[in-house]
């Protein structure tokens, strides 16, 4: 009996080699078949682990944008969740811009929602560098203390274990400027983003049964913070911003990377960048004004030097405390549409004007 059990439980070399060979063949097949072209043809929710998987949404949106049919102009929105929750829908934004320009909607203007929850400024810069060619475009980047004043440990984690499949070479270029860890690029899409794909074992199920529709808004209809929550969270945010702003080396590195990216857009592409300060609840302004002013003081000189607009639309959109779930996320369709209208007007105005900062080499 002991001899039988020993033979049954001891793995044979041939079996082990067979398992390894099968795994290698499977990986090789995935390297061949999992490409950006294939991902772009999937339904938006197929890669998502759940309806709130922003990493999958950003991945799909970017590869789709890079394969967008020819249009006469484009608009793109890039940034974290405060940007994602600031407008109702990328299609209604596109339609408003097209109407303001008195042009046909879908056939003339392309629009890309490249926002995602927790998107670090370094990740946003990678997205900006990956924008598709356009004959004329405006890209709006959300920037404020929440992204400029980053937590070094959290940022390192996002570069080591990215939540979306952004190009490794471009990630490494930004990582070098920020002093973040780099990853090895193989040139094979599946291997370069192995962590991303293996963390989504539900893909075959979604392909067979149909994927759930990604949720656009996380805070729609949610209650406002209680008074106690306001005091607790806003004070914690203030302290956090002040502490992270003291990491001058990382803040300065972010500004260097930002300038490099904006300069690339101006000199090598037809994209016109706009920097947008995300919405901020009036109730939060007294506590966070110092942090917001500190961020603006670092960004504004760079923006002025490059001729890039730095804009705050809160007053134009007439945002009030009742519009917010918390300090920055809008919670009603009406507020989102109101802000979206001002954002569309801003984009249309800059699309209709010649870009004075575009310099051709």
pLDDT in tens, 224-236: 999 999 989 999 9
**Domain extents in the chain:** 36-352
Cβ atoms 133, 269 nearer than 8 A = yes
Question: Mean pLDDT across the stretch 149-155?
Answer: 95
Query: Comparing 183 with 32, which gets the higher pLDDT?
Result: 183
What CA–CA distance (Å, rounded) separates 324 from 333?
Answer: 11
Distance of CA 336 to the CA centre of its chain: 19
How far is the C-alpha of 216 from the C-alpha of 319, rounded, in Å?
20
What proportions of the chain, in percent to the nearest 5, are helix, strand and coil?
55, 10, 35
Distance of alpha carbon 70 from the chain centroid? 23
Pairing of strands 73-79, 271-277: unpaired
Residue 5 is predicted with a pLDDT of: 46
pLDDT tens-digit readout, 326-341: 999 999 999 999 999 9
**Tokens standing for 167?**
């190009």
H or E segment to which residue 113 belongs: strand 109-115
Cα(28)–Cα(119) distance, rounded to whole angstroms? Answer: 31
Say how many Å lie between the first and final Cα of the chain, rounded.
81
Q: Which of 203, 217, 162, 218 is nearest to 43 (CA)?
A: 203
User: Each residue of 237-276: b (16+ CB within 10 Å) or e?
Assistant: bbeebeebbeeeebbebbbebbbebbeebbeebbbbbbbb
Tokens representing 29 are 């097949």
∠ CA 10-15-18, nearest 5°, is 155
Who wins on pLDDT, 356 or 285? 285
Under 8 Å between Cβ of 97 and 75: yes
* Poorest-pLDDT segment among 42-46, 107-111, 124-128, 302-306: 107-111
**CA–CA separation, 40 and 60 (whole Å):** 6
CB 226 within 8 A of CB 63: no
How far is Cα 95 from Cα 347, in angstroms, rounded to an integer? 12
The pLDDT score that the predictor gives to residue 69 is 86
pLDDT in tens, 170-212: 999 999 999 999 999 998 999 999 999 999 989 889 988 899 8
What CATH architecture applies to the domain 36-352?
Answer: 3-Layer(aba) Sandwich (3.40)
HSE, CB side, 13 Å, CA atoms: give it for residue 143: 31
């Amino acid at each position: 009996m002991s001899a039988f059990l020993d033979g049954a439980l001891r793995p044979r070399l041939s079996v082990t080699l067979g398992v390894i060979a099968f795994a290698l063949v499977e990986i090789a097949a995935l390297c061949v078949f999992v490409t950006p072209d294939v991902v772009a043809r999937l339904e938006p929710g197929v890669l998502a682990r759940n309806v709130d998987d922003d990493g999958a949404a950003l991945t799909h949106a970017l590869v789709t944008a890079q394969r967008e049919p020819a249009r006469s102009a484009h608009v793109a929105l890039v940034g974290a969740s405060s940007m994602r929750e600031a407008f109702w829908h990328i299609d209604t934004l596109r339609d408003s811009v097209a109407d303001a320009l008195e042009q046909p909607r879908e056939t003339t203007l392309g629009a890309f929602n490249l926002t995602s929850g927790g998107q670090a400024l370094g990740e946003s810069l990678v997205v900006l560098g990956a924008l598709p060619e356009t004959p004329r475009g405006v890209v709006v980047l959300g920037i404020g203390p929440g992204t400029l004043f980053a937590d070094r440990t959290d940022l390192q984690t996002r570069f080591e274990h990215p939540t979306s499949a952004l190009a490794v070479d471009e990630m490494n270029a930004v990582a070098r400027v920020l002093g973040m860890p780099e990853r090895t690029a193989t040139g094979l899409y599946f291997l370069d983003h192995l962590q991303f794909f293996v963390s989504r074992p539900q893909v075959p199920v979604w392909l067979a049964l149909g994927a759930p529709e990604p949720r656009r808004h996380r805070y729609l209809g949610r209650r406002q913070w209680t008074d106690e929550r306001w005091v607790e969270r806003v004070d914690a945010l203030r302290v956090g911003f002040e502490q992270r702003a003291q990491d001058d080396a990382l803040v300065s590195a972010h500004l260097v990377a930002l300038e490099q990216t904006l300069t690339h857009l101006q000199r090598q592409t037809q994209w016109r960048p706009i920097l947008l300060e995300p919405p901020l609840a009036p109730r939060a302004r007294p506590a966070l004004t110092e942090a917001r002013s500190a961020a603006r003081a670092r960004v504004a000189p760079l923006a002025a030097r490059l001729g890039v607009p730095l804009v705050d639309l809160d007053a134009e959109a007439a945002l009030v405390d009742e519009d917010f779930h918390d300090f920055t996320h809008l919670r009603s369709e009406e507020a989102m549409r109101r802000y979206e209208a001002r954002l569309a007007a801003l984009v249309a105005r800059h699309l209709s004007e010649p870009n004075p900062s575009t310099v051709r080499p």
